[in-house]
Structure 1
Amino acid sequence: MQAQFKIEYASAARELAIDIDTLVVAGWAGRDLAAIEHHIEELAAIGVPRPSSVPLYYRIGHNQLTQADTVQVVGPHSSGEIETFIFAAEGQLYVSIASDHTDRKLESHSVALSKQICPKPAGRSAWLYAEVEAHWDELMVRSWIEENGQRVLYQEGPLSTLRTPRELISGYLAATGLAQLPDGTGMSCGTVAAIGGIRPANVFEMELYDPRLQRSLKHSYTLQILPEVA
């Protein structure tokens, strides 16, 4: 999938086009066992089996990555969750945001299939990872959903609760035998708990906020629900 990003540096900006040919979702990426267990129990409440190990690296078809404002899903059972999105290009790492949109009904049968079946909406702006790596733990992720006609805070938390991109990349490379993340590889890096429990919504808005440099990456998308026929 060819993605187009506006790279926003601390003092400049430029456009970057990149072919994402490898898409990975790093699951169960909490930094401490208590946080991981909370998310496992959150998903267990809707019938999702416990993971075999943590973290896990789910390979997703790169054609599922999208930067569109509207995405189509089958049935009313899916929901989004904000994740930082690390991708390699020109020998460097960049960070954007993406939603690990997941079919929650299918998730109780297979987590891997529930992730693969849904599009993965990503933002159109990114930062050079080197500009935020030193204060990564200070960054905040937030998401909002539309519920009963109201904009409702759905997720909020610091990245200090999640494993760092370097740690997740290292774990992924160890399993693949690669020496470094190849250009064209994108990885979403885990999420924080949903406020009030996981639930579907037709509008999903997300933000990565950098309090040190006073800037944000934002993206939102709307669902079109396709009929679920037997």
Structure 2
Amino acid sequence: MLTFTRHTRARTDTIALAPTALVIAGWAGRDEAAIRHHIEELAAIGVPRPSSVPVYYRAAAATLTQAPVLEVLGPDSSGEVEPVILSLADGLWLGLGSDHTDRKAETVGIALSKQLCGKPVGPELWRLDEVEPHWDSLVMRAYATIDGERVLYQDGTLASLRTPGDLIQRRPGGPDLPPGTVMFGGTLGAIGGIRPSTRFEMELEDPVLGRTLRHAYAVAVMPVVA
């Protein structure tokens, strides 16, 4: 069960949600050059190139987490900040999450790697229809603590990603997102390349309405025992 605080321009409320489905949209960029850049980033660490663009991976809804610490197996995983669309009974909402992925397993199978790590999601939501008119102005960032140093890991506007409406229309089983579904909406290239961290911080800034979603989690590495 996840808990969210929902913000609109008129009110704020809190809900509890047990998601029923998790969809992770991959290679969801609008800019073909940026997509190629991210594909080459992953290819550099042995990840096979996608069969189609965008692609829609399925993962267990139970992997979604709001815990402050994410336990992972071995040292080869890393986070990536993404906008997150939640379909609720009263419509679509926008949140923030990290498609934390086991990069070693990703070289074997991307769909497999998506299932192996928890998927952190932030506790706050905005109503999607309040931000859709200025979607391209939203700014998404991530900071990672690497070797004890906090560095800017990802930074850019959502103008580089497909809009939620476009992703939902293209999704197999569309054109609607059933209530209870959580969809991750794509990421930005990593500044300096994909690498693990001990802490991952993310934010989604709305400069038009003057507000920001934030979430962070620590990464605890468990030993791989043969």
Q: Which interval holds the TM-score relative to the shorter structure?
A: over 0.9
SS in 2 for 1:5: strand
Alignment match, 2:62: 63
Q: How big is the shift at 1:11?
A: 4.0
Amino acid at match of 2:166: E
The alpha carbon displacement at 1:114 in A equals 0.8
What is the CA deviation profile of residues 25-72 of structure 1, one whole-angstrom value per residue up to 9, with x for unaligned ones?
000101021111010001111111110000000000011000111111
Question: Does 2:213 correspond to 1:214?
Answer: no
Q: Aligned equivalents of 1:53 and 1:91: distance in 2?
A: 32
Q: Does 1:201 find its partner at 2:194?
A: no
- Displacement after TM superposition at 1:91 (Å): 3.3
Unaligned runs of 5+ in 2: none
**What is the one-letter code of the residue matched to 2:201?**
E
Equivalents in 2 of 1:22, 1:126: separation in Å? 18
Please give the per-residue CA displacement for 1:168-189, whole angstroms capped at 9, x wherever unaligned: 11111xx22x552111000000
> Does the 8 Å CA contact 2:147/2:197 hold for their aligned counterparts?
no
**Match for residue 149 of structure 1?**
148
3-state DSSP of counterpart to 1:136: helix
Rounded Cα–Cα distance in structure 1 between residues aligned with 2:208 and 2:216 = 23
| Contact 2:146–2:196 (8 Å) recurs in 1 | no
Matching of residues 76-115 of structure 1 within 5 Å: 76-115=75-114
For 1:179 and 1:111, the matched residues in 2 are separated by 25
The percent of aligned pairs where both chains have the same amino acid is 52
SS at match of 1:132: helix
Which residue pairs with 1:170 in the alignment? 169
Distance 1:72 1:106 in 2: 16
The CA RMSD over aligned residues, in Å, is 0.9
1:129 counterpart residue number: 128
Return the alpha-carbon distance in structure 2 between the equivalents of residues 131 and 222 of structure 1: 31
TM-score normalised by length of structure 1? 0.96
Which secondary structure does the structure 2 equivalent of 1:190 belong to?
coil
Letter paired with 2:22:
L
Which letter maps to 1:223? Answer: V
Q: Does residue 52 of structure 2 align to residue 53 of structure 1?
A: yes
Relative to the length of structure 2, the TM-score reads 0.98
1:159-212 Cα deviation digits (max 9, x unpaired): 00010111111111xx22x55211100000000000000000010000000000
2:177 is matched with which residue: 160, 175, 181? 181
CA distance in 1 between counterparts of 2:198 and 2:11 reads: 35
Does residue 225 of structure 1 match 2:221?
yes
The answer for the alignment partner of 1:191 in structure 2 is 187
Evaluate the alpha carbon distance shift between residue 113 and residue 194 of structure 1 in structure 2; reply closer, same or farther with a 3 A threshold.
same
